[in-house]
Amino acid sequence: MNSIVDGLGDIQPTTARLLRNPSDFAQVLAPIYGAAIASQFEKLLREHLTIAAELVTDLKSGNSTAAADAQKRWYANADEIATFLAQINPYWSKVEWQRMMYEHLRLLTEEVGSRIAKDYVRNVELSDSIEPQALGMADMMTSGIVQQFPSVFQY
């Protein structure tokens, strides 16, 4: 986000690293859920990150029509992720995933806006809010997997 907003020279390597996350998730999920489910999650997460980059670019350029379209697709993607996760794990609630995803998207959108406005104090505050929120999503994911597959996690 900061690289796109500030036009930094690290956009390509930073984006490449970020887009490695969906593959990393798929690699971890495949032994538990199988290749097809892992691949579908990888696709949804990659789409999520790609739309986010589009949104940041559109907001930075002031293209409000394109930004509105990207934001609409971003929330639709969040709905797809929530639905998908609830379908593969009975311990994951679609409503709870939607709530967490929407909160994450709201915080990220505010963070981008504060960065574009050069309100760096608010930008840092929002960044501080995003980390525990993202860790909460990670905890929810981990808890659901452990509940669904307890024998995999017994010593």
Q: What is the pLDDT of residue 154?
A: 79
Q: At what angle do helices 94-116 and 120-148 cross, to 10 degrees?
A: 160
Half-sphere exposure of 139 (CA within 13 A, CB side): 7
Q: Does the pLDDT value for residue 155 go beyond 80?
A: no
Given a contact cutoff of 8 angstroms between Cβ atoms, the answer to whether 41 and 26 are in contact is: yes
- Reported as a single tens digit per residue, the pLDDT across 11-69 is 999 999 999 999 999 999 999 999 999 999 999 999 999 999 999 999 999 999 999 99
Summarize the confidence of residues 113-139 as an average pLDDT. 95
Half-sphere exposure of 3 (CA within 13 A, CB side): 13
Q: pTM for this structure? A: 0.93
Hey, where are the domains in the chain?
A: 7-147
